[in-house]
Amino acid sequence: MAKAPSSILALTAGEPAGIGPDLCLQLALEDRATELVVVADIDLLFARAQQLQLGITVEAWQPGKPVRCEAGMLSVWSVAEAPERRAGFLDPANAGYVLETLAAAVRGCLRGDFGAMVTAPVHKGVINDGGFAFSGHTEFLQEQCEVERVVMMLATPELRVALATTHLPLRDVADAITAERLTQVIRILHEDLNSRFGLAAPRILVAGLNPHAGEGGHLGREEIDVIEPTLASLRQEGINLIGPLPADTLFTPRWLEQGDAVLAMYHDQGLPVLKSQGFGEAVNITLGLPIIRTSVDHGTALDLAGTGKAEVSSLRAAVAMAAQLVQTAQKETSQ
């Protein structure tokens, strides 16, 4: 029998200049059943707690050590030092530190120290300015875990939206919609909806790429040449796929009640709809990894960092989702 996943969650604090450290500290003020370890520069969190005038005890943690869960306690795995710790002031010198916190959390998950990792927001631009090619958490975790393909999915209590492509310029999207990519993405989405979310026969609504799903080829042929044949092939594997559907009507009750998740072709086709319905409560989940990873649905909010005005609801939801997915995994290994 496989070993049950750890119940401890790793929480990376993200960009030091942003609201990630603030949110970690705010979450530590709450009573929680989840064993949570923040992966960050412990001195950064000390300093931010003082700036925010929060009465929190920040305690150093090492793998194998018990985790304190009571309100007002925060366990921190300090794996690197942030050269610049000021709220609201981006510094490319912090890029290596940010990436090391992510890499350390991945290593901890792969070793079994953690059952999942939760990520606070990072700033892609300043990481690239620091000399590191970085297009986002999703792609970085794919590289760290050495897997061929991962899938970004955002979820609210009412809606799940996965993406066929993620952080690409719009002019590159059509060329990226290939039969190979769609096949990989849909298989991952189907498998993780089944294994991680407990959906025995998940129903997946697939958006077309073009307006009106191509209007029979008059508004683009990607649906005819690529999407429809790929869906037909995957249906032969027993995957329940509905579409391709016009994206402008897919997100209506008539269709959504028929599906468990939506597959959008590109980032801004599906995520604006999801965020308009549940911003602040949405959770970003990376599918296709050998580890569980969830994240917030917002950015670094530099103007709010260090002010005490940052809203912790999305991080709270990301932690709750990670804990739920760990519990599902633990049940699977116990059977």
Verify that 201 and 102 share a domain, yes or no: no
Q: Is 293 assigned a ligand-binding role in the annotation?
A: yes
Q: Is 275 assigned a ligand-binding role in the annotation?
A: yes
CATH number for the domain spanning 251: value is 3.40.718.10
Q: Is 138 assigned a ligand-binding role in the annotation?
A: yes
Verify that 113 and 178 share a domain, yes or no: no
Q: Is 167 assigned a ligand-binding role in the annotation?
A: yes
Q: Is 137 assigned a ligand-binding role in the annotation?
A: yes
Q: Is the pLDDT of residue 279 over 80?
A: no
Alpha-carbon gap, residue 233 to 299, rounded angstroms: 38
CA dihedral 264, 265, 266, 270 (to 10 degrees): -20
Verify that 168 and 246 share a domain, yes or no: yes
Q: If you average pLDDT over every residue of the chain, what do you get?
A: 93
CA atoms within 13 A on the CB side of 216: 0
Verify that 296 and 176 share a domain, yes or no: no
Verify that 105 and 41 share a domain, yes or no: yes
Per-residue pLDDT tens for 144-188? Answer: 999 999 999 999 988 999 999 988 899 999 999 999 999 999 999
The predicted model gives 3-19 an average pLDDT of 91
Verify that 137 and 13 share a domain, yes or no: yes
Q: How many domains does the chain have?
A: 2
Q: What's the pTM value of the predicted model, to 2 decimals?
A: 0.91
Alpha-carbon gap, residue 244 to 175, rounded angstroms: 17
DSSP strand pairing (116-119 vs 151-155):
unpaired
Per-residue pLDDT tens for 186-243? Answer: 999 999 999 999 899 999 999 999 999 989 999 999 999 999 999 999 999 999 999 9
Alpha-carbon gap, residue 244 to 221, rounded angstroms: 12
- Domain of residue 34 covers 1-147+289-334
Q: Is the pLDDT of residue 2 over 60?
A: no
Verify that 143 and 16 share a domain, yes or no: yes
The predicted model gives 293-314 an average pLDDT of 93
Verify that 128 and 202 share a domain, yes or no: no
The predicted model gives 123-137 an average pLDDT of 93
Could you tell me the pLDDT band of residue 1, with boundaries at 50, 70 and 90? very low
Q: Is 284 assigned a ligand-binding role in the annotation?
A: yes
Q: Is 34 assigned a ligand-binding role in the annotation?
A: no
